Amino acid sequence: MKVTLKIWRQPDAASQGAMHTYELDGVSEDMSFLEMLDVLNEDLVARGEDPVAFDSDCREGICGMCGLMINGQAHGPEVTTTCQLHMRSFKDGDEIVIEPWRADAFPVVKDLVVDRGAFDRIIQAGGYISVNTGSAPEAHSVPVPRDDAVRAFNVATCIGCGACVAACPNGSASLFMGAKVTHLGELPQGQPERDSRVVGMVAQHDAEGFGGCTNIGECTAACPKEIPLDVISRLNWDLHAALRHGH
């Protein structure tokens, strides 16, 4: 099939970007979306044009490296990652608009590549359990109710892709933060640092320039791991608790 691609091109962070249009023929529906872009890039290289830069690594939906805004939807029209989206979700003659994640906290590096370092710093600000290597007690000394473990797992599947931020009208990273706060907060091991964790993470989130959440819910709809809105409620709850505890 044949598609018309409108792609954001921007040489580097400092330059102005613009949308460019490319026609691509011979696209097979078995191609993944990124393979389709690979083919475009081979074409561009053959023509002597700079290939389109975009991020991907595992290409199996788990590393969180890929992420494009496709026709106004983060990761495109299916609930999955960009790398797991396939061309059979499109049809012959479609026009596909491809943009990078837009958030001032995720500056564009080049074309469709953005810098998500802010997420690492949010984790640095408290998204962990402090336990030095070798000082852990025997694993079975602290039983964890199965439901808690399952719930912790469900939200721990966040891949840090940033689609939640990209989709949120406020550019908020609350779903990402909430997922981590809930993951660690569900487990007995995570209790001692519960207050300082949420306070540190939220402060970093705010300093990075993400917006505040107004519970709009676009984030969860775009999330390839279907992290539910519960986690934002939980995030808020934990922050109030920290306030009460004088943090």
Residues that bind ligand HEM (CB under 6 A): 214-215
Q: Pairing relation of β-strands 95-99 and 108-110?
A: unpaired
Phi/psi of residue 2, each to 5°?
Answer: -120, 135
Show the binding pattern over residues 158-197: x = contacts ligand SF4 (CB under 6 A), - = does not.
xxxxxxx----------xx--x------------------
d(CA 197, CA 121): 13
Extract the tokens encoding 4: 């018309």
Looking at the Cβ atoms of 63 and 216, the one nearer to ligand HEM is 216
Give yes or no for residue 223 binding ligand SF4 (CB under 6 A).
yes
Map residue 120 onto helix, strand or coil: helix
Show contacts with ligand SF4 in window 133-162 (CB under 6 A). Answer: 158-162
Give yes or no for residue 103 binding ligand SF4 (CB under 6 A).
no
Extract the tokens encoding 174: 């609350």
Work out which of 52, 65, 74, 173 binds ligand FES, going by CB under 6 A: 65
Give yes or no for residue 232 binding ligand SF4 (CB under 6 A).
no
> Minimal distance in Å, beta carbon 25 to another protein?
13
- End-to-end, the C-alpha distance of the chain in Å comes to 58
Show the binding pattern over residues 184-203: x = contacts ligand FES (CB under 6 A), - = does not.
--------------------
d(CA 60, CA 62): 6
Looking at the Cβ atoms of 114 and 219, the one nearer to ligand HEM is 219
Q: Which does 209 bind (CB under 5 to 8 A by kind): ligand SF4, ligand FES, another protein, none?
A: another protein
Number of residues that bind ligand FES (CB under 6 A): 13
Burial of 42 (0-12, 13-18, 19+ CB in 10 A): exposed
Q: Which does 76 bind (CB under 5 to 8 A by kind): ligand FES, ligand SF4, ligand F3S, none?
A: none
Map residue 20 onto helix, strand or coil: strand
Looking at the Cβ atoms of 52 and 219, the one nearer to ligand F3S is 219
What is the DSSP code (8-state) at residue 32? B
Q: Which does 66 bind (CB under 5 to 8 A by kind): ligand F3S, ligand SF4, ligand FES, none?
A: ligand FES
Residue 4 · residue 23 · CB < 8 Å: yes
- Please name which of 235, 204, 197, 229 lies closest in space to residue 215, comparing C-alpha atoms: 229
Residue 95 β-bridge partners: 4
Q: Give the binding site for ligand FES (CB under 6 A).
A: 56-59, 61-66, 81-83
